[in-house]
Amino acid sequence: MTDTAWIDAALTSARPQAIGALLRYFRNLDTAEEAFQNASLRALKSWPQNGPPRDPAGWLIMVGRNVAIDDIRRGRRQQPLPEDDQAISDTDDVEDALAERLDGSHYRDDILRLLFICCHPDLPATQQIALALRIVSGLTVKQIARAFLVSEAAMEQRITRAKARVADASVPFETPGAVERSERLSAVAAMIYLIFNEGYSASGETAEIRSPLCEEAIRLARLLLRLFQSEAEIMGLTALLLLQHARAAARFDADGAVILLDDQDRSLWNQKMIAEGLALIDKAMRHRRSGPYQVQAAIAALHARAEKPEDTDWTQIDLLYGALEIMQPSPVVTLNRAVAVSKVRGPQAALQMIEPLAPRLSNYFHFFGVRGAFLMQLGRNEEARVAFDRAIALAHTSAEAAHIRMHLDRLMRDSQPRGKKAGK
């Protein structure tokens, strides 16, 4: 690795902890970010000469804090010094005192707070994600703009707006209580899942550009899990992301078109990610505190465990979706369950299951795709065609339309009567 490459990796890994601590100290996001930025610049000069410090995050916090305080004292920043600044005079034991304060329990909540600020409920999802990627992950505006397929100027504006909004919203700096901590944790988990889905739901030529979002989400999920090691749902979330991302290399053909699960070359699935995902589910299960991420991860695990599509344990998947319906009732969950039901109990049962969803999913193209498939399997071809046409009309992008068309082509091909055991 070249000099700058290891420094980049060190800065990236220290970033959440360092900015989180600087934020707690200065209570101002801009100041904290700028302090970290200045410390990083000094690191780029100092580390190649002196070698990396034993504790890069501690080094960056210390240097960042000192530089920012200097700026405030010289009047370069219009901001009062933090109240407890007198307690930290410029003496040798400063480092020990600060290191002491940064130690242990603090940094968990620092990082959680930093992540939590990014998912403030006032912020629309896209702003939450952009803010987290900028502040916590340290991606450049240019990188984020590229992943979101918008101009750099537009992304700059989006992030600036998001920052202004969270600056007004006061997030308490005291150590949170158990209930508040767990609320923060689930908000942050949801945001990490959003980041992942931004990358995962991409298709066509954008898939490759956006897949770093999946990797970043996995990094953040692992970080969160390392901080909260006994949280079964965070294990479930991390497992879910790993198991879904494990299929990345098999999900698209050479032209960037989506390859459905049944048609994927399973030898391309990343076995190391699958192993990690399965290990995390095993750990989570021991807690016997189920939750939506764990259930979804368990469903993904059943797909991952099937060497061939026909080995898939659809009965178990049906049961898991049933559990998910109770935890997180949603017509989309029921729609997914119906696919499992069609494999276990046949298309008639599946169709009956989704009929009541029609009013709520009347603008959801997957609903019509799935409905059309069930109808075709039942030989009700005319009704099926109507459903397929409706699905295509509802596609949002050409990639989506192409995906649906392929989906539909396949369903047409597959729904020829074959006298298979599953049917009836």
Partner 1 sequence: MPHPMLYAILCYHDEDFTGSWTKEQDAAVMQKLAVVQDKLAKQGRLGPVARLLPTTSATTLRKDDPPIVLDGPFAETKEQLLGFYIVDCKNLDEALDVARDLGAANPGGAYEIRPVGLLNPGGLAT
Q: By CB under 8 A, name the binding residues for partner 1.
A: 1, 5, 8-10, 12-14, 56, 215, 219, 222-223, 225-226, 229-230, 235, 238, 272, 275-276, 278-280, 282-283, 286
Counts of helices then strands in the chain (DSSP H, E): 19, 0
Of 298, 349, 296, nearest in space to 325 by CA: 296
By CB atoms closer than 10 A (0-12, 13-18, 19+), residue 136 is buried
Of 231, 320, 322, 321, nearest in space to 283 by CA: 231
**Which residue, 151 or 230, is less far from partner 1 as judged by CB?**
230
Helix (H, G, I), strand (E, B) or coil at 183: helix
Of 418, 365, 410, 358, nearest in space to 388 by CA: 365
Q: How far is the CB of 278 from partner 1 (least distance, A)?
A: 8
Q: How far is the CB of 357 from partner 1 (least distance, A)?
A: 36
Cα–Cα distance measured from residue 310 to residue 421, given in angstroms and rounded to the nearest whole number: 11
Query: Exposure string (b/e) for 139-168, b if CB count within 10 Å is 16 or more?
Result: bebebbbbbbebeeeebbebbeebbeebee
**The two structure tokens encoding residue 35:** 């302090």
Cα–Cα distance measured from residue 40 to residue 284, given in angstroms and rounded to the nearest whole number: 37
Cα–Cα distance measured from residue 220 to residue 228, given in angstroms and rounded to the nearest whole number: 12
Q: How far is the CB of 306 from partner 1 (least distance, A)?
A: 16
**Which residue, 34 or 276, is less far from partner 1 as judged by CB?**
276
Of 257, 268, 227, nearest in space to 113 by CA: 227
Q: How far is the CB of 300 from partner 1 (least distance, A)?
A: 16
**The two structure tokens encoding residue 127:** 């702003």
Q: How far is the CB of 231 from partner 1 (least distance, A)?
A: 9
**Which residue, 18 or 258, is less far from partner 1 as judged by CB?**
18
Q: How far is the CB of 225 from partner 1 (least distance, A)?
A: 4
Of 153, 150, 154, 119, nearest in space to 133 by CA: 119
Q: How far is the CB of 284 from partner 1 (least distance, A)?
A: 9
Of 47, 407, 389, nearest in space to 263 by CA: 407
**Which residue, 223 or 354, is less far from partner 1 as judged by CB?**
223
Q: How far is the CB of 323 from partner 1 (least distance, A)?
A: 20
Q: How far is the CB of 360 from partner 1 (least distance, A)?
A: 38
Helix (H, G, I), strand (E, B) or coil at 55: coil
Of 159, 258, 165, nearest in space to 207 by CA: 258
**Which residue, 30 or 282, is less far from partner 1 as judged by CB?**
282
**The two structure tokens encoding residue 216:** 């970043």
**Which residue, 260 or 268, is less far from partner 1 as judged by CB?**
268
Q: Is 140 left (phi over 0), alpha (psi -120 to 50) or beta?
A: beta
**Which residue, 123 or 274, is less far from partner 1 as judged by CB?**
274
**Which residue, 64 or 82, is less far from partner 1 as judged by CB?**
64
Q: How far is the CB of 276 from partner 1 (least distance, A)?
A: 5
**Which residue, 218 or 384, is less far from partner 1 as judged by CB?**
218
Q: How far is the CB of 331 from partner 1 (least distance, A)?
A: 34
Cα–Cα distance measured from residue 200 to residue 218, given in angstroms and rounded to the nearest whole number: 12
**Which residue, 144 or 341, is less far from partner 1 as judged by CB?**
144
DSSP letter string over 211-268?
HHHHHHHHHHHHHHHHHSTT-HHHHHHHHHHHHHHTTGGGSB-TTS-B--GGGS-GGG
**Which residue, 231 or 400, is less far from partner 1 as judged by CB?**
231
